[in-house]
Amino acid sequence: MKDTFKHQGLRQQLVNVLKNKGITNEKVLQAIGKIPRHLFMDSSFLDHAYQDKAFPIAADQTISQPYTVAFQSELLQIEPGHKVLEIGTGSGYQTAVLCLLGARVFSIERQQELFKKTSRFLPKLGYRAKKLIFGDGYKGLPEEAPFDSIIVTAGAPFVPKPLLGQLKIGGRLVIPVGDEVQIMTLFIRKGQKEFEQHEFGEFRFVPLLEDKN
Ligand code: SAH
* pTM attached to this predicted model: 0.97
Q: How many Å apart are CA 211 and CA 107, to the nearest integer?
A: 15
Nearest ligand 1 atom, CA 137: 23
> To 10 degrees, the CA torsion angle through 134, 136, 139, 144?
10
The rounded Å distance from CA 110 to ligand 1 centre is 7
d(CA 212, CA 208) in angstroms, rounded, equals: 11
The closest alpha carbon to 172, from 161, 156, 188, belongs to 188
pLDDT (0 to 100) of residue 42: 81
pLDDT over 80 at 28, yes or no = yes
- Longest CA span, the chain: 51
Q: What is the pLDDT of residue 87?
A: 98
In order of start, what are the domains of the chain with their CATH numbers? 5-203 (3.40.50.150)
How confident is the model over 5-23, as pLDDT tens digits? 999 999 999 999 999 999 9
Instruction: Name all contacts of 63-66 with Cβ < 8 Å and 24+ positions apart.
Output: 63/37, 63/90, 63/91, 63/93, 64/90, 64/93, 64/94, 64/153, 64/205, 66/14, 66/17, 66/18, 66/32, 66/37
Q: Is 197 helix (H, G, I), strand (E, B) or coil?
A: strand
Q: Whose CA is nearest to atom 15 of ligand 1?
A: 111
pLDDT, residue 43, reads 74
The rounded Å distance from CA 5 to ligand 1 centre is 31
With residue 86 as reference, give the H or E element that holds it: strand 83-87
* Residue 177, pLDDT above cutoff 80: yes
- The residue-averaged pLDDT of 206-210 equals 93
pLDDT at position 194? 98
Q: pLDDT tens-digit profile of 33-92?
A: 999 999 999 877 777 899 999 998 888 889 999 999 999 999 999 999 999 999 999 999
